[in-house]
Structure 1
Amino acid sequence: MSKHALVLFAHGARAASWAAPFERLRELTQARMPDVRVSLAFLELMTPSLPELAAELVADGVAHITVVPVFLGQGGHVLRDLPLMVEQLRIDHPQTSIAVVEAAGENAAVLNALSDYCVASLSAHAAPD
């Protein structure tokens, strides 16, 4: 097993169906990196939580965890809650390297992909002139 893991960190919701696109993202990402464990973790309302998943990964021998906040913007959860959670994880698992990258919605490539989708949606549904 790889010593690296990628964690897609999302908010969570009461409706289980809300997680479907995140699971598809996890599956697509896992397919591109078969030697890296790709998992989902949630801030609230769904499991596993980031601390639960991190403990499981560490127990499985993972030495490096990269967390990708799958949020469109950097609100309080990304700016305040996540750093506090990661700080505690680093205390709880000092032997493990834990990195956090920018929120997905702050990344230029992600924004360009969303813009492409928006432009294509208008082209697909625009009334003829």
Structure 2
Amino acid sequence: MPAVARFRSVVLDCPDPHALAAFYAKVGGGTPRAEDDDWVVLDIPDGPRLSFQRAPGYQPPQWPRADHDSQQFHIDFDAGSTWEEVDAAHEKVLALGARPLDLEDREKKDFLVYADPAGHPFCLCRIESE
């Protein structure tokens, strides 16, 4: 079946689109492109296009919650095939302003969960080499 439309972008609401785009550029690569004060686009190399829009009164998602205030989605990043690589990425995202949400049971889950500076959840994943 042919697609109805072509994927364009994942858009994150936030209080400061320039700051959040700069954070994700440091995590995933790319150069943020401001279209105006309220909208910034980031094309991550070999990844998705992320867009950031200013949302007055923005409230970050609560993680983990099962009710209507729970996260709407999260972003996964491949942080390497070893825990040493993931640990190095962990230190870097913390230095960039990420906040740990769930660092438990990493050997069982193969991922660590963080909040970006605006509160959106994202994961650093250990991806085994094929």
TM-score (norm 2): 0.29
Name the structure, 1 or 2, with higher relative contact order (CA <8 Å, separation 6+): 1
Greater CA radius of gyration, 1 or 2? 1
Give the structure with the larger strand fraction.
2
Give the structure with the larger helix fraction.
1
